[in-house]
Structure 1
Amino acid sequence: MSLAALALVLFAGLAVGMTSIGGVLLVPVLSAVDGVPIARAVPAAVFAFLLTGAASAGQYLWMQRRALAQGRPPTGAPRAAILALQAGTLLGAAAGALSLRWVPVVALHLALAAMALGSGAQALFVRAPADAGTPPPPAALAAIGLAVGLGSAWTGTGGPILLLPILLALATPLRAAIAMALAVQIPIAGAASAVNWWAGQLDLRLGLLLAAPLIGGWAIGLAIASRMSTARLRQALGLLLMATGLWYGVHILTH
């Protein structure tokens, strides 16, 4: 991997750690900067997402146990909420893979871009207490996970870019929403990586090379986010959502 690609993957990890969004940059970076074929880049990127999601899950469990040991209420999303979301996402991803041939893919990609733009504008311009409200109940999260899993399989994107706009629209506390968005990477990337490995499409060495700077950037981004006010974090998320939606829409329309 070139130094330019390494720096951009590190930046993507930084964005993931701060807002859960940024992984969408990996495949374009590999393809445009290092000339890696898409068929090789996508499975490697998905595998790197799996390792980042596992690191995020480990950090989440550690924070929960630390809070309980110190007699403080756990922060972030409740464990039951995350498990319900992951279960729905896994079922949705499987159903999406089976139904992909009948789906209008371009229209879905454009809808995804519009959703990211709208959610980013809401985060930036609609004045609302970022930590107001509570996460949706587990049954609702399972249904949301089902929809996110379907959308991820149909569009080839990770869960956060689909899930965050929905959670923000439901007034989910911002930091809980980011934690849940990171958590859905595990079932989506895990299922896809298993299929890619079985089909002989996974370049394990490239996946590990991607994962190292991605996780390093994620750790830095997580540390930065923990020191930011919720309002500032919401602004950063809004800007990243709008930039991603704009780039994604232009990319779909011009390719």
Structure 2
Amino acid sequence: MSGPSVTFLAELSTNDAAALSPETVIVQPIGAIEQHGAHLPLVTDALVAEALSRRAAARSAVDVSILPTLSYGRSIEHRGWAGTISMSSETLLAVCRDVGRSVAASGFTKLVFVNGHGGQPSLLDVVARDIRAETGLQVFSIMPARLGMPEDLVVPDDEYGYHGGHVETSIMLALAPELVRMECAEAGGIGVAREFGRFQHLTLEGVVPSAWLTDDVTHNGILGDPTTASREVGDVLVDVWSTRLAEAFGEIAGFRYPLY
């Protein structure tokens, strides 16, 4: 008996695709093309989403087929920064719905959005339910960065390290060091945590989030401190997140609605 398979759907013929099990976990990596300061490439979020999807699929105990990465995302908070190419919310929702409709029409039952961009998890949650209601697909949205930090990994406090900071830069040093310009790295958004610390309920993101744009919180496009980043930290994070994502694929493959 052969083990679980990893395929790249676009590289298959239509007959090969039809021969896949309907229970194959179909993975749609999605990221963004947006500014990440002077030291990281515009493709950072899309590159991370694809790399982690591929690594997780290779470690998974279930059949996985990966779709071509949706590199563009909803990046309106970074619009106006050179190189940022953003979909509108409406366009992103429409594209994801069409992907879902096509996956369902191909006879598959599971679709996973693996998201590398922090500006769109809420939209992907919404569209996942839309696709579920329209097509019957079981749809899941996963942001690997939300799978948790390794307990023994010490990460410096870089305040709101949401964008281009220590963690994201370390990940890129592990995945594509040739695209990282550490000589250009500098901290940004310093003082944001102090400002929000004055409030009892209001937060940048959290309990009472503020709908912030990049220019509201940083002068250089960075939220965090990339200067302390290292490939060693990135290697650990890539390994842990790939493993946890592979475990999530396994749980998704065995999950069924209804629950009663």
TM-score, normalised by the number of residues in structure 2: 0.27
Q: Could you say which structure has the larger radius of gyration?
A: 2
Query: Greater share of helix residues, 1 or 2?
Result: 1
Bigger RCO of structures 1 and 2 (CA < 8 A, at least 6 apart):
1
Query: Greater share of strand residues, 1 or 2?
Result: 2
